Structure 1
Amino acid sequence: MAYSFENLSHADFEDLARDLLGQETGVRFEGFSAGPDGGIDGRHATADKLTILQAKHYAGSPFSALKSAMAKSRPCIDVLKPSRYLLATSRALTPANKASLAREIGPWLQSQADIFGPTEINDLLRKFPEIAKANLKLWLSGTAVLERIVHAAAHAFTVVTREEIESKLKVYAPNPSFTAARDKLEQGHVVIISGPPGVGKTTLAEMLSYAYISDGWTYVAIRSLNDGFAKLDDRTKQIFFFDDFLGTAALDTRALASNDSDLTRFLKRVRASSNARFVLTTRAPIFEEARRISEHLADQRLDIAKYVLDVGVYTRRIRARILYNHLAISGVSQEHIVALWQSHAVPLIVDHKNYNPRIIEAMTDGPQMRDVTPASYGAEFLKALDNPSRIWDVSFRKHIPEMCRHLLYALFFCSDYGVSLDELRVAFDALHQLLASKYSTPHGPKDFEEAVRILEGGYININGKTVTFINPSLRDFLTDYIDSPELVEDLAEAAQKADWSKRVSDHIKAKRLWRETSCKRGYTAFISVARRFTILPEMKKNEDREGVWSYYDLSFGGRIELLLEWSKESDNAVFVQIATEIAANPSRRFDAWRDGQRLVSLIIRLQDGAEYGSLKGAEKLRTAIEDQLVTMLNGYIVPDDLDSILDSMEGYEQVLGDRVRTALSDAMRAQFERLDSLIEDVDNESTLDDHIKAIRRFAPLVGVKDDVLVRAVATIELKKSEIEEVSSAAESPTFPASIRRESDKFDDQALEDLFAPLVYGLR
C-alpha cells in the first residue's frame, strides 16, 4: 500500500520520520527545537557522533518551496556540524531534485541515499509494517483502507464520504484513550465511551471503529437496539457503533425503563459472541443519571462500570496537538495564526479550564470567524472558552435571516443522527409559514432552498440526501437558546410528525418552560399533530434499497403513551379520544418488539386509581389496548419478545385479567409448536441461547412435558451447531495503538517547537 501523507500534519509527519528512520538506522531520535530558522526535527548524539534528522512536509507544494526551506535551514546545520544528516520529505523528488537538495545541504550529507522522498518512505513502511499500523492516522489514510471504510459506512444507516473521513483524520490527535478503549473492547467486547459534551467521544469511537474496519470487521452503525438485534450475526466479525445511545436531553425515567432491559440483553449477547464488538458513546451526566434510575444498568451481575471509559482529560501535549491540527487544516489565515501566537494566547488556550475540542473546532472553522480580525483573534478565542455559548450566539442572531433560524429550529427537533432533505422540508414549511404569518414577515415558496444554500457549510452539512448540524456545539447552543414558552408553543402547533412533537415535548419538560398555570393552554397546541397520529406511518420504504423498510416515526404504542402524557398535563380529554381511536382500530397491528412491554405498562397505568386511571375515557382505552395485546399474543411472536412481555407482567397478573393471561399461556405453548419456523432465520448463537432460556421458563408455567422440552432444546442446539460450522472465532485486531513513547514533559518551549511550522509559514 502506498501512502501520500496528505492527511498528516507537519507534526505527524515528523513523528513518522523519527519512527521510520530510527528503525532503519537503529538509533532513537529525540525531538529537537524547530524555530524560525528552518529547524531540526530529530537528533541522536553519542560521545563522538551527532546524527541529525530533518522532516519537511511539503506534499503538494512546488519543489522551489522545499528548496528554499532547505536553504534557510543550512545555517543551523552548519552550526551543529553533524556526522550524518538525514532528510525526509513528503514532496515527490526526481534525481535532479535530490542533487539540488544535496547542494543546499552541503558536506553534511554523506550520500543522496540519505534523502528520503515519498518513494523511499513508502519502501520503509513496507519494510516496517508495524510502524504503519501503529500510526493510526497514516494507516487509515491508505487508499485501500479508506475505500473499505467508505464501503462499510454505505451499508450502515448513514453515508460517510471519503472527504469527511479524511477531514476527521487530519484533525485527530492520537492519544492514550485509543489504547484504553481498544483494550476494554477486547477484554469485554463492549466499551462505553463517556464524557462531557464536546470532548471527542464520537471521534474516538469512530477512529476505533475505522481501525476495526481496516482489520476486516463489518461496520454496523445503529440508531436503535432494534437495528442491533436485527443485524447481529455470529458468522461475521462485526463492530457495532451506537452514538449517544442515551440521547442528549434530560432522561425520562419511564422511557429509559422501556429500553434499558433491551440494552442489557444486547450487551450480554455481544459479550457472549466471539465475533461481535460494541462501541457506545454517551454524555457522562446522562449516563450517571441512567445508572441511578435504572434497575438493569445498576445490576451488579452485569457490572456495566467495567465497560466504561471516561474521556476528556487530555495531557498538555494532546491539547496542543488538537489545536495545532485544527489550525493547520482550517481556512484560518496566516495573519490570524501569527497574531494568535504573538498575542501569547496559545498557551492560555491549551491550559484553559474549559478547553474542549468542540470549541477549538468552532473557533478555527465556522461563521463565528467572519468578523474576527487577526488582532482580536486571541482575545475572541479566549472569550469563547470563558463563555462557550457565545460561539454561536452572535452569528445565529445577526448573520443569518429569519428563515434560516426557522430551518435550524426544524432541524433541532429532528433526529440527532440527521434527517432527509424531504423530511426537513416538511418540518420547515409548516414552522416557517406559521411563524412568518404570525409575525408578518415575508416568506415565499423558495425559502427552503434559499435557507439551505445560506446555511450549508457554515451551519449544516448535506451528505447525499441527509442534513446534519455542521458542529454538535450548534445543537448544544440551541438547547439553551430555545427557552421561550411562546416559541415552543408555536413549535408544538407546527409539528408534522409524532417523533418531532415528542422531542418538542421533551424539551419543554427538560427546560421546564411551561409553568403549571400555562400547561393546560400550552399542551393544547399539540392537538393539531395529535389528530394525525392515527394516520401517520410508523414505517417507511427505503428509497435506496429495494424491499427494505425502516422505522420512520414513533410506534403506535409510543404515540398512545405521549397522548396520555399530554392529556394528563392539559386535562384535555381529546388526547385520550385520539389514543382510543388508535388502539380501537382492528386493522392496526402493534409490533411486539417495540410495543409489547409498553402495552402491558399502559394497561396497568390505566386501571382505576393508577397514573392515568382518572382520565376521562380511561376504561374504554384500557379495553382497546387489552384487545391489541391479546391479538399480539395470539399472533406470531418470537421467544425473546414473549419473554420480555412476561417480565413486564410479573406481579400484575390479576390486574391484567383472564383474557390476557389466557392469551399469554397460549402464546407460550405455541412456542413449542412453531419452534422450527421461529428459529429458521436466526443467525447468532447468543439469540438461540436466549431462546433456550425462554422455553425452559415457559415449559413449567404452561405444563409442557419434559420430553417435549428436551426435544425443543435439542432442536435449538442443532441449529447452534450449524452456525458454529460456518463460524470462526475472531482474533484480536492486529493494529497496535502506538509504538512511540511520549515524554510527559511538554513545557512552553515544546509548545513553541510544535507551533513553529505554522507561525513561520512552514506548513
Structure 2
Amino acid sequence: MEVLNDKEFEELAKDLLDAKLGTDLEIFKVGKDGGIDLRNSKNTENKYIVQVKHYVGSKFSNLISSLQEEKKKLQAILPKPKHYIVFTSLPLSPAETSNIKLLLEPFITSTDHIYGRKRVENLLSKNKDVERKYFKLWLTSTNVLKTVLHNAVFNNSEFYTEKIIQRVKHYVYTQNIDAAMKKLAENKFLIISGEPGVGKTTLAYMLVYQLLGDGFKLIYSDRSIKDAEQLLSNNPQEKQVVLIDDVLGSNLLELYQPVNTESKIVGFIEKFSLSKNKYLIFTSRTTLLNQANHQYEGLRRSGASVVSNYELKISDYTLFEKAKILYNHLYHGEISEIYAESFYSNRNYLKIIKHKNYYPRLIEFITTEQKFKISGYLNVENFIFDSLTNPDEIWRFAFENQLSRPEQLLLETVFSFGDGSFNIDFIEEAFENRYQYEIEKGNTQRELNGFHNALKKLLDGFLKMEINPKSTEKLIQFINPSLADFLIKYIEKNQNEKYNIWASAVYIEQLKSTFAVLFSVDISIPSRRVKKYFSTFYDNMDTLDTIEENSSVAFKTIDFLFEFFKSVFPTNTSIVNRLLCRLIAERGKLDAWRLSSLLIDINLESIEEPINIVKDNWDEFFALIMDNIRYSGDFERLQELFREYDKDFGHYLEESNLRYDFHHTVTNLFEVQISEHDFYSEVDPADFDYYDDSTVERKLTEKIDQMYSDYISYANLDDYWDLLEPDYNINVSDIIYEYKSNLSADDYVYDGKEYLERSKESSKEDVEEKIHRLFRR
C-alpha cells in the first residue's frame, strides 16, 4: 500500500468497493468534501458515503483524531447516509475496529463497514484484475516482488527491494508503457531513445519489472554487449529479457568499426527476431542514436534502430501525467511541510507542470529539499522556477560555491572517464594525479586525506558508490546524469579546466571519453591550441595506462593519436615510430580490424619511416592481428592490408608456413559463432514425428556445412578454400539431445497482449480540474 499516494488509494477504494457492493461510487471533485471522499446516490441519495484514509506507517491515534473531525462534518450531511464506510490502509485490530464503530455511531451500524489493511488486501486477492490495474500495487505484492527479485541479477544493486519500491513509488503509469510494450512484443527488440532526463531508464525498468514478474529472467549490463551475450540461453523455452542501459554511450567506439559492430550489435539484435521468449531492450540518448545511424551503415541498413525505436518525448506526456509525476515526488519525497508548501501556494504546481522545461529529472531535482539547501537560494519558489528556467545554474552554483577545490577536481575526474561506473581505484589514482598537477601549478594546496574527504562529501549529493556483484569492487558514478550534462557545458567554456584534464590524465580512456571526436561534439579544442595539446600528449604518452586488463596501451594510444592528431603526422613521425615498436613489444589485447585499418592509413599517408617499420616487422604485425581476430570481417580487413602493401596474401601463407595457424584461427572463430547460434530455429519439432534422430542429425550437419561455406564467403576467403577445408569440431548429436530435452508440449510464447489492454481514464472532467483535485489537501 505504501507505493500508492493518497489519491491513488482513493481510486483503489472506489474500484474495490464497486466490485464488492455492485455499485458505482463517485469521487468528489475539488472543493470542501464535507466528510465525503466517495458517494453513491444513483437511486437513493447518499446510499453509500465512504471516507478514505491512507495512513501507511501512521498511528491509530492519528486515525481516530481525523475521524473525530469527520464526524463533525457528518452531522451536517443531509440526508443522513444510509451506509457510511471507513476505508483505510492502516492495519486494524478487532478492538480498534470496535472503537471506530463506537466513535462513528449512529452512522456506522456494523464493523462490516470498516475496512482496515487486512480486509483491503483480502478484497485485492479476490479481484486480481483490480490489482493488475494498479501496476505499482501488483508489482510490489509479496509474490510478484519475490518473483522479480528471484529473476533479476543476483546482488545487482538496481534490483534490491528498497530500490524497486522507491522507484515504483514515484512512477506514473503513462500511455508510454503500453506503446513501448506493444512495440517490444511485436519486434522482440526495443530501443528507448530520448533526450537526457526524459525518463528513458525509468520506462525501461518498468518494462523489465513486468517481464520479471511474469517469470522472465533478466540479463542486465551497463557496460557491454559481450557480457550479456555470454549469458543468453539457446533454449527457446527459457524466458529471458536483456537490458543494456545507454548502449551507445557504452559501445560507441565499436560503431565506428563497421565489421565489428555488424557482427556484434546488429548480430546480437538479430538473435532475438527468431527467439520465442527472448526480449532485448536498449536505451540511448537521441543524439547518439542519430549519430550512430548517420555514421554506421550496418546499423542503418538493418533498420533495427528505426523499426524498433520508441522515441520518448516530453510532449508524449499528457498534462495530467505530468501532474501525477510531480505529485508522486511531493507525496513520497522526504521533504518538510514548509518546503512542500511552496509547490501548493498560488497553485505553483500548475505553473511547474506547464513550464516549457518540464522534465521528469528536473522534477526529481526540485522536489529534493537537500538540493535547495546546497543551492544558495533563500527562497524556495525562486529555487524552483530558476531551476526550471536554467537548470545548469543550480549545479553551477553548488559546484562553484559549495564545493572545495578537491571536491571539484574529483567531480571532473569522474567526468573524464565518461559514461558508466568505474573502479574506485582508477578514480583515486586519476584524482591524485590531477590533484598533484594543480598543486604544482600553484592552483591549490594539498589537504590531508584529500580524496577520501572529497568522496565522503560528494557521496549521495553528487556521486554514488555501488558494489560490482561479480567482483565486489567498489564502483563510482554520478548520482544524476544531469550533473554530467552540466559539466560538459562548464568544461567546454573553461579552457583552463579543459587543458588541465588533458595534461593530468593517467588513463588513455580519460582522453578518449572526454575529447575524442567520435565520442564528443561538446568538448572541443580550439585550433590555435592544437600544437600545445599535442606537445603535452607527446610528453605524457609513455606514462599513460589503460583501465582494461591485458589491453595494449600502445594500441589504444596510437588509435587515439590517429583519430585526434592525424594532421600532424607528416612532421612528427617519431611518435608513430615509438608507438609501433611498443605495440609489437607489448603483445596485448587489441582490435584486429582497427589495427589493420591503422596500418593501412600509415601507408595511405605515405609516412616513410613508419611504413618501413611495418614492412620490416610484417610477421610480428601479422601474428598480432591473428592473435586478436574476433570477427569474420577481420579477415577481410587483413586482406586489404596485404593489398595496400602490395603483398600476396595466399603466397605469404604458403611461404611463411603459417597456413596451419591461419586455418586454426578461422576454424576456432567459426566454432565460437556456431556455439552462439540458435539451432532451435533450424529444427522443426514435427521432424521427430517423421524422421529418426540420424536423419535430423544429417539435416543439421548439412546446415552447418552450408553455414561454414557462407562464413568463408562473408570473410572473403573463397580464394583460399584449399587452405581452409572444414575441420571444425561440432557435436550435432549434443545439439539434438539438448533440443529434445528442452522440448515442451506447451510451446509457450509471450506476446505481451495482457499489457496492451489497459483501462483508460473514463473521467470527462476538465484536465485542470482534475489536476486541482489531485493537489487538493
- Assess same fold via TM > 0.5: yes
The residue aligned with 2:633 is: 644
Q: 1:249 to 1:217 in 2, by over 3 A?
A: closer
User: What is the rounded CA distance, in whole Å, between the counterparts of 2:82 and 2:498 in structure 1?
Assistant: 72
One-letter amino acid of the counterpart of residue 288, structure 2: I
One-letter amino acid of the counterpart of residue 576, structure 1: V
One-letter amino acid of the counterpart of residue 9, structure 1: N
CA shift, 1:210, in A, is 2.0
The residue aligned with 1:617 is: 610
SS in 2 for 1:510: coil
The count of aligned residue pairs is: 726
SS in 2 for 1:457: coil
Q: Is the 8 A contact 2:596 2:638 kept in 1?
A: yes
Please say which of residues 495-504 and 27-36 is displaced more in the overlay. 27-36
Larger of the two Rg values belongs to structure: 2
User: What is the rounded CA distance, in whole Å, between the counterparts of 2:608 and 2:704 in structure 1?
Assistant: 39
SS in 2 for 1:179: helix
CA shift, 1:305, in A, is 1.5
Please provide the CA RMSD for this pair: 3.7
Identity %: 25
User: What is the rounded CA distance, in whole Å, between the counterparts of 1:582 and 1:687 in structure 2?
Assistant: 47
User: What is the rounded CA distance, in whole Å, between the counterparts of 2:291 and 2:667 in structure 1?
Assistant: 43
For the pair 1:307 / 2:326, whether they are aligned, the reply is no
User: What is the rounded CA distance, in whole Å, between the counterparts of 1:132 and 1:623 in structure 2?
Assistant: 73
CA shift, 1:203, in A, is 0.7
For the pair 1:73 / 2:79, whether they are aligned, the reply is no
CA shift, 1:174, in A, is 1.3
Q: Is the 8 A contact 2:668 2:728 kept in 1?
A: no
For the pair 1:98 / 2:92, whether they are aligned, the reply is no
Q: Where does 1:187-336 land on structure 2 (aligned, <5 Å)?
A: 187-222=186-221, 223-235=223-235, 236-247=238-249, 254=256, 259=261, 262-299=264-301, 302-312=303-313, 313-336=316-339
SS in 2 for 1:281: strand
SS in 2 for 1:458: coil
User: What is the rounded CA distance, in whole Å, between the counterparts of 1:63 and 1:374 in structure 2?
Assistant: 39
Please say which of residues 149-158 and 391-400 is displaced more in the overlay. 149-158
Which residue, out of 671, 693, 698, partners 2:707?
693
Q: Where does 1:60-139 land on structure 2 (aligned, <5 Å)?
A: 60-74=57-71, 77=74, 79=77, 81-109=80-108, 111-139=110-138
SS in 1 for 2:317: coil
User: What is the rounded CA distance, in whole Å, between the counterparts of 1:513 and 1:373 in structure 2?
Assistant: 31
The residue aligned with 1:25 is: 21
The residue aligned with 1:547 is: none
1:421-449 CA-partner distances (Å, limit 9, x unpaired) = 22221121111221233234221341111
For the pair 1:55 / 2:52, whether they are aligned, the reply is yes
The residue aligned with 2:740 is: 725
Q: What TM-score, normalized by structure 1, do the two folds share?
A: 0.85
The residue aligned with 1:486 is: 496
One-letter amino acid of the counterpart of residue 233, structure 1: S
Q: 1:557 to 1:278 in 2, by over 3 A?
A: farther
For the pair 1:397 / 2:400, whether they are aligned, the reply is yes
Q: Is the 8 A contact 1:154 1:160 kept in 2?
A: yes
1:491-532 CA-partner distances (Å, limit 9, x unpaired) = 112212221221122389623532222101113333455314
For the pair 1:356 / 2:364, whether they are aligned, the reply is no
The residue aligned with 1:174 is: 173
Q: 1:38 to 1:91 in 2, by over 3 A?
A: farther
Please say which of residues 387-396 and 189-198 is displaced more in the overlay. 387-396
SS in 1 for 2:86: strand
User: What is the rounded CA distance, in whole Å, between the counterparts of 1:350 and 1:111 in structure 2?
Assistant: 44
For the pair 1:474 / 2:483, whether they are aligned, the reply is yes
SS in 2 for 1:298: helix
SS in 1 for 2:334: coil
Q: 1:521 to 1:737 in 2, by over 3 A?
A: same
Q: Is the 8 A contact 2:595 2:625 kept in 1?
A: no
User: What is the rounded CA distance, in whole Å, between the counterparts of 1:258 and 1:708 in structure 2?
Assistant: 25
Q: 1:279 to 1:642 in 2, by over 3 A?
A: closer
User: What is the rounded CA distance, in whole Å, between the counterparts of 1:48 and 1:144 in structure 2?
Assistant: 41
CA shift, 1:266, in A, is 0.8
Q: Is the 8 A contact 2:546 2:553 kept in 1?
A: no
User: What is the rounded CA distance, in whole Å, between the counterparts of 2:371 and 2:479 in structure 1?
Assistant: 13
Task: Give structure 2 stretches of 5+ with no counterpart.
Answer: 468-473, 683-702
The residue aligned with 2:413 is: 410
CA shift, 1:157, in A, is 6.9
Q: Is the 8 A contact 2:514 2:523 kept in 1?
A: no
Q: 1:374 to 1:583 in 2, by over 3 A?
A: closer
User: What is the rounded CA distance, in whole Å, between the counterparts of 2:739 and 2:269 in structure 1?
Assistant: 21
SS in 2 for 1:246: helix
SS in 1 for 2:775: helix
Q: 1:725 to 1:563 in 2, by over 3 A?
A: farther
The residue aligned with 1:549 is: none
User: What is the rounded CA distance, in whole Å, between the counterparts of 2:186 and 2:600 in structure 1?
Assistant: 41
Please say which of residues 381-390 and 123-132 is displaced more in the overlay. 123-132
SS in 2 for 1:511: coil
CA shift, 1:410, in A, is 1.0
CA shift, 1:267, in A, is 0.6
User: What is the rounded CA distance, in whole Å, between the counterparts of 1:537 and 1:420 in structure 2?
Assistant: 9
User: What is the rounded CA distance, in whole Å, between the counterparts of 1:302 and 1:480 in structure 2?
Assistant: 33
User: What is the rounded CA distance, in whole Å, between the counterparts of 1:84 and 1:735 in structure 2?
Assistant: 36
One-letter amino acid of the counterpart of residue 370, structure 1: K
Q: Is the 8 A contact 1:160 1:463 kept in 2?
A: no
Q: Where does 1:644-683 land on structure 2 (aligned, <5 Å)?
A: 644-646=633-635, 648=637, 654-655=643-644, 658=647, 660=649, 669-670=663-664, 678=672, 682=676
Please say which of residues 72-81 and 320-329 is displaced more in the overlay. 72-81
CA shift, 1:272, in A, is 2.1
Q: Is the 8 A contact 1:52 1:82 kept in 2?
A: yes
SS in 1 for 2:27: coil
For the pair 1:736 / 2:751, whether they are aligned, the reply is no
One-letter amino acid of the counterpart of residue 228, structure 1: A
Q: Is the 8 A contact 2:512 2:560 kept in 1?
A: yes
Q: What TM-score, normalized by structure 2, do the two folds share?
A: 0.83
Q: Is the 8 A contact 2:266 2:298 kept in 1?
A: yes
User: What is the rounded CA distance, in whole Å, between the counterparts of 2:645 and 2:232 in structure 1?
Assistant: 34
Q: Is the 8 A contact 1:244 1:280 kept in 2?
A: yes
